[in-house]
């Protein structure tokens, strides 16, 4: 019944006349979806600050004013221009954590300026103990930036209270930017041109940020009304504060809740300008692959990426002779399951704008989970983990009225070395906004040559996300695939209810993947099953919060049945987590499993488990050291039964700050397995060393040893953004085989130098 209703709703919605396509010839500057304009989102004039007032508050509603300045801001982070004396700052920041709704314990002051080219944000961050500030990362787009003293700006330029842009800068000047849709699904791999500088003073630190109007999309007209929220993190005391208050129930993802953002008025913007970006590259290097008989083979090449704004909301991207030599290699994983491993996409062309292609409540970047990913870009240009030449392709992404549109077409070339033939990959995604924060959509994927049979492969699906208030969501989809010789039994469908507040959480899921469901431009962890699952959470906060911030009690039950209704897998799990005020965490988890093997399972090179049913259980305990520590990370210990034997595992993964510009990220995982069929040990050891010379220049090395793959690999990268949007890369990598006696022998080795240059017209 749910599936029939979904299909009927999809037909009804797509048949409904929507907002006409934007006819403006002014292009969009970048890939992310531009939100639709909703007149009802503009606040009444009485709500705006009057005269020279900078902020107006009515309960939880906040309105702030931007001021025009008569000369460009000198970007140095020092806040010493006369405007900081002439114009009062915006204050009154409110805690989200640890004490929701209370005034911030460390004062924050904000200014918003603009001129004919740029929007400027300036912030003065007072700190009662500046010597304790956490500042140990400068690398652009590093995930560790959020663990420093930092300020984040979220801008809803169309004021539709759904979508927006995020800009973060920490106290060392490290920056990252993201785009997000539907108040979630952020994409950190969206990049645009902006800049920021920071400075220290006796009582804290300050910053100035400039964002060109050309780097943003916004609604027509000179007078603009935008949504804005500003988040400051005082990391040493684990405090999160906001310009516009956010409930603690929203957690760290609350920054994307632009429906709760302040309203920014007083801004007068130039018309969106024509935007054409051309980014040619050239590359040269030498490579060795002794498995293919290649030794120090020199090579050189060139290619081109072009970005053009077709309309105000739609952007076209073209790529020719695409090369990803600068991308860091995959992190090794130990696989003790019978299912495929998930490796995330790291190539910029495929990452930018990929949130548009999320389907059925599953993000294409999310590891784990059993729901299929219908478009997984790692299927393009990679075969068996090795690169396949990409001749070229194009992409169209963005907004047209209430519709989000994403189209990708890529052509790969033959590669006899990996057994790949020339293949065309196509994906079309359409999503329509309905109600306040709900969507319904459809997706099509196809490849001209199937990877498993002679002929082609296609997939089609419809999905819906219904937001029933701020805390309740329903995800559902219906999908079908077509593969030569595999007609019938080729459907998948899902219904998920998610309710989440600060104190309670409930998740219920029903998922079916039939035996011939085969999305070859996607990712599928397991097939021929029906999953029924429930997860319950109770997370109270103690009255005395001096030491402990929160308790988490969770219970989970997953039940998997085959297409014939026979039990195949079952997981019953109980978890207790304790979060301290200093951000340390304790986790204790007990699990009971049942696995029925359909075919013999070769779990190690010398160990194969026979076909039968297995019941086993384990206990996992871990301690997570807060990121404010010089030595941070998670230490874990696991013990219990495993299939027909026993398992013990220990691991550590974390970060060690050597200096503010030099850090180590060590990881070690060891499993001792003792089964009736034999015993074995797996070892995975890795270290990433990062030296960040400036916020736009770094060198990083990733060294990995995997006993299961008998491999020892290293990858060293130098990246310098010598001009905003233009980069120089120097990359050295090698792979060694540890099977033989003595020092590991080289299988592959390569050195490449790549340079690109952005022309922004």
Encoded tokens for 513: 């993947």
The Cα–Cα gap between 726 and 720 comes to: 8
CA 240 to chain centre: 21
Asked if the bond preceding 98 is cis, omega within 30° of 0, the reply is: yes
Question: What are the angstrom distances between the C-alpha of 689 and each of 137, 139, 654, 663, 718?
Answer: 12, 12, 12, 6, 12
Minimum mean pLDDT range among 24-33, 76-85, 297-306, 597-606:
24-33
160-10-455-414 Cα dihedral, nearest 10 degrees: 0
More confident residue, 561 or 180: 561
Contact 557, 571 (CB under 8 A): yes
The Cα–Cα gap between 226 and 35 comes to: 12
The mean pLDDT of 222-242, rounded to a whole number, is: 94
DSSP code, position 520: T
Decide if pLDDT at 220 tops 60. yes
SS3 487: coil
Contact 31, 313 (CB under 8 A): no
Contact 256, 184 (CB under 8 A): yes
Q: How confident is the model at residue 656 (pLDDT cuts 50, 70, 90)?
A: very high
Contact 242, 151 (CB under 8 A): no
Contact 164, 227 (CB under 8 A): yes
How many C-beta atoms surround the C-beta of residue 760 within 10 A?
Answer: 17
| pLDDT at 281 (0 to 100) | 92
The Cα–Cα gap between 620 and 626 comes to: 19
| pLDDT at 660 (0 to 100) | 80
Report the alpha-carbon angle 491-458-384, nearest 5: 100
The mean pLDDT of 566-576, rounded to a whole number, is: 97
Look at phi and psi of residue 413 and say left if phi exceeds 0, alpha if psi is from -120 to 50, else beta: beta
The Cα–Cα gap between 87 and 176 comes to: 28
Task: Tell me the pLDDT tens digit for each residue of 611-628.
Answer: 999 999 999 999 999 877
DSSP code, position 247: -
Encoded tokens for 705: 């040893």
| pLDDT at 387 (0 to 100) | 78
How many C-beta atoms surround the C-beta of residue 112 within 10 A?
Answer: 23
Question: What are the angstrom distances between the C-alpha of 453 and each of 53, 265, 419, 447, 457?
Answer: 68, 59, 14, 12, 9
Contact 153, 228 (CB under 8 A): yes
Q: Which residues of 5-32 are buried (b: 16+ CB within 10 A; e: fewer)?
A: ebeebbeebeeeeeeebbeeebbbbbbb
Note the residue count of the chain: 761
Contact 685, 671 (CB under 8 A): no
Minimum mean pLDDT range among 341-355, 381-395, 429-443, 735-749:
341-355
Q: Which residues of 420-455 are buried (b: 16+ CB within 10 A; e: fewer)?
A: beebbbbbbbbbbbbeebbbbbbbbbbbebbeeeee
607-612-613-618 Cα dihedral, nearest 10 degrees: -10
Q: Which helix (H) or strand (E) holds 537?
A: strand 529-538
The Cα–Cα gap between 253 and 247 comes to: 11
Decide if pLDDT at 67 tops 80. yes
Is the pTM above the cut of 0.85?
Answer: no
- Nearest CA to 387 out of 366, 413, 369 is that of 413
The Cα–Cα gap between 265 and 328 comes to: 43
Contact 120, 210 (CB under 8 A): yes
Task: Tell me the pLDDT tens digit for each residue of 299-358.
Answer: 898 999 898 888 767 888 898 988 777 777 778 888 888 887 777 777 777 776 777 888
DSSP code, position 90: B
Encoded tokens for 345: 């996409």
Q: How confident is the model at residue 43 (pLDDT cuts 50, 70, 90)?
A: very low
Residue 59 CB partners (closer than 8 Å, separation 6+): none
Q: How confident is the model at residue 385 (pLDDT cuts 50, 70, 90)?
A: low
The Cα–Cα gap between 298 and 281 comes to: 18
Contact 350, 380 (CB under 8 A): yes
Q: Residue 493's beta-bridge partner residues? A: 478, 512
Q: How confident is the model at residue 227 (pLDDT cuts 50, 70, 90)?
A: very high
| pLDDT at 272 (0 to 100) | 61
Encoded tokens for 221: 């007209």
Residue 7 phi/psi, 5-degree rounding, is -60, -40
The Cα–Cα gap between 166 and 184 comes to: 12
Decide if pLDDT at 12 tops 60. no
The Cα–Cα gap between 423 and 446 comes to: 10
Q: How confident is the model at residue 121 (pLDDT cuts 50, 70, 90)?
A: very high
Minimum mean pLDDT range among 263-267, 364-368, 700-704:
364-368
The Cα–Cα gap between 589 and 582 comes to: 22
What structural domains and CATH numbers belong to the chain?
29-268 (2.60.40.1190)
Residue 160 CB partners (closer than 8 Å, separation 6+): 35, 36, 37, 38, 41
Encoded tokens for 157: 């330029």
């Amino acid at each position: 019944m749910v599936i029939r209703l979904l299909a009927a709703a999809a037909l009804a919605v797509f048949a409904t006349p929507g907002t006409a396509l934007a006819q403006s010839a002014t292009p969009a500057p970048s890939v992310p979806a531009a939100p639709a304009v909703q007149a009802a989102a503009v606040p009444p004039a009485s709500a705006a600050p009057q005269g020279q007032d900078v902020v107006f508050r009515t309960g939880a509603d906040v309105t702030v004013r931007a001021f025009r300045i008569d000369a460009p801001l000198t970007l140095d982070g020092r806040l010493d221009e006369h405007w900081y004396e002439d114009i009062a700052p915006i204050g009154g920041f409110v805690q989200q954590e640890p004490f929701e709704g209370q005034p911030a314990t460390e004062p924050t002051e904000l200014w918003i300026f603009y001129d004919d080219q740029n929007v400027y944000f300036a912030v003065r961050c007072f700190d009662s103990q500046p010597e304790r500030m956490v500042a140990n990362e400068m690398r652009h787009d590093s995930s560790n930036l959020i663990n420093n003293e930092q300020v984040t700006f979220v801008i809803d330029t169309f004021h539709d209270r759904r979508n927006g842009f995020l800009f973060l800068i920490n106290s060392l000047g490290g920056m990252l930017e993201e785009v997000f849709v539907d108040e979630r699904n952020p994409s950190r791999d969206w990049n645009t041109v902006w800049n920021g500088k920071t400075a220290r003073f006796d009582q804290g630190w300050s910053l100035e940020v400039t964002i060109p109007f050309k780097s943003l999309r916004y609604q027509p007209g000179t007078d603009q009304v935008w949504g804005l929220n500003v988040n400051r993190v005082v990391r040493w005391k684990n405090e999160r504060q906001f310009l516009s208050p956010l409930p603690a129930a929203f957690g760290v993802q609350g920054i994307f809740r632009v429906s709760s953002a302040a309203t920014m008025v007083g801004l007068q913007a130039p018309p969106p300008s024509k935007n054409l970006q051309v980014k040619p590259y050239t590359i040269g290097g030498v490579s060795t692959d002794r498995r293919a008989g290649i030794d120090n083979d020199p090579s050189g090449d060139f290619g081109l990426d072009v970005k053009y704004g077709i309309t105000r909301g739609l952007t076209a991207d073209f790529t020719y002779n695409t090369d990803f030599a600068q991308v860091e290699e995959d992190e090794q994983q130990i696989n003790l399951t019978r299912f495929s491993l998930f490796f995330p996409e790291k190539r910029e062309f495929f990452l930018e704008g990929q949130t548009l292609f999320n389907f059925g409540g599953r993000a294409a970047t999310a590891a784990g989970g059993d729901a299929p990913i219908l478009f997984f870009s790692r299927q393009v240009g990679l075969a068996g983990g090795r690169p396949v030449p990409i001749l070229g392709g194009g992409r169209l992404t963005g907004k047209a009225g209430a519709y989000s549109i994403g189209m990708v077409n890529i052509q790969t070339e033959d590669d006899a070395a990996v057994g790949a033939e020339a293949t065309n990959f196509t994906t079309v995604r359409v999503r329509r906004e309905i109600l306040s924060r709900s969507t319904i959509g459809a997706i099509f994927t196809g490849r001209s040559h199937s990877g498993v049979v002679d002929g082609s492969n296609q997939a089609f699906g419809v999905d819906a996300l219904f937001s029933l208030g701020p805390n309740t969501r329903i995800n559902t989809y219906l999908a079908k695939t077509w593969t030569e010789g595999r007609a019938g039994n080729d459907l998948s469908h899902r219904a998920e209810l998610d309710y989440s507040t600060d104190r309670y959480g409930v998740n219920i899921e029903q998922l079916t993947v039939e035996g011939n469901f085969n999305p070859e431009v996607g990712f599928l962890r397991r097939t021929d099953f029906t999953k029924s699952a429930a997860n319950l959470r109770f997370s109270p906060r103690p009255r005395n919060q001096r030491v402990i911030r929160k308790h988490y009690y969770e219970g989970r039950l997953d039940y998997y049945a085959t297409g014939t209704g026979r039990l195949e897998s079952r997981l019953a799990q109980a978890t207790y987590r304790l979060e301290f005020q200093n951000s340390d965490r304790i986790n204790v988890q007990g699990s009971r499993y049942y696995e029925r093997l359909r075919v013999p399972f070769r779990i190690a090179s010398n160990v194969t488990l026979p076909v039968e049913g297995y019941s086993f259980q384990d206990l996992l305990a871990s301690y997570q050291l807060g990121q404010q520590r010089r030595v941070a990370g998670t230490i874990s210990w696991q013990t219990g039964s495993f299939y027909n034997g026993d398992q013990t595992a220990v691991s550590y993964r974390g970060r060690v700050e050597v200096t503010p510009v030099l850090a180590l990220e060590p990881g070690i995982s060891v499993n001792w397995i003792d089964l009736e069929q034999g015993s074995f040990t797996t070892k995975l050891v890795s270290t990433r060393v990062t030296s960040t010379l400036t916020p736009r220049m770094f060198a990083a090395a990733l060294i990995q040893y995997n006993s299961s793959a008998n491999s020892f690999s290293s990858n060293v990268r130098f990246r310098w953004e010598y001009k905003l949007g233009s980069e120089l890369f120097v990359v050295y990598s090698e792979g060694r085989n540890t099977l033989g006696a003595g020092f590991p022998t080289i299988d592959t080795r390569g050195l490449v130098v790549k340079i690109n240059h952005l022309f922004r017209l």
